[in-house]
């Protein structure tokens, strides 16, 4: 059966909720979200959905600086390649489980770019 493409905020919300359920259990990065920075998920999920909606649906609802938060996190736990590799693997596998199509492919491409850029910036921040 063919999966649908990402076409709405509700689709992005499903993607992000499922993704973070995996993140919380991941042995490489889960602790960052549960121990280092105990995330308020009710607040965090809509912010991340805004971020991805801005990118994928060309709706500029995200108004924050994504790098700033990660610089602060990087001071608590130096973010390494293995952290970004786990994040990317979980994100791509979640997209693939739920969706297929042009926007789903864009989500994976953009996630790769974001991961590489963040790794570069965090590596040079210390």
Q: pLDDT tens, 39-48?
A: 899 999 999 9
What average pLDDT does range 93-119 have in this prediction? 97
- When the pLDDT of each residue in the chain is averaged and rounded to a whole number, the result is 92
CATH topology of domain 9-123: Globin-like (1.10.490)
Strand stretches in the chain, DSSP E: none
* Alpha carbon distance 126, 103 (integer Å): 35
- Segments making up each domain of the chain, as ranges: 9-123
Higher pLDDT, 67 or 126: 67
The model's pTM is: 0.92
* Alpha carbon distance 109, 56 (integer Å): 11
What average pLDDT does range 27-31 have in this prediction? 95
pLDDT of res. 126: 59
* Alpha carbon distance 91, 112 (integer Å): 10
**Model confidence at 28: pLDDT above 90:** yes
Q: How far is CA 58 from its chain centroid?
A: 17
């Amino acid at each position: 059966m063919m999966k649908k493409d990402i076409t709405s905020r509700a689709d992005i919300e499903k993607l992000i909720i499922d993704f973070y359920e995996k993140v919380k259990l991941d042995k490489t990065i889960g602790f960052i979200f549960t121990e280092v920075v105990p995330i308020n998920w009710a607040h965090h999920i809509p912010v991340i959905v805004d971020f991805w909606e801005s990118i994928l649906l060309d709706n500029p609802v995200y108004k924050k600086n994504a790098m700033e938060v990660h610089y602060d996190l990087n001071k608590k736990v130096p973010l390494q390649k293995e952290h970004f590799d786990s994040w990317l693997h979980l994100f791509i596998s979640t997209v693939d489980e739920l969706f297929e199509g042009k926007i789903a492919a864009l989500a994976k491409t953009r996630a790769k770019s974001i991961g590489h850029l963040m790794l570069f910036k965090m590596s040079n921040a210390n």
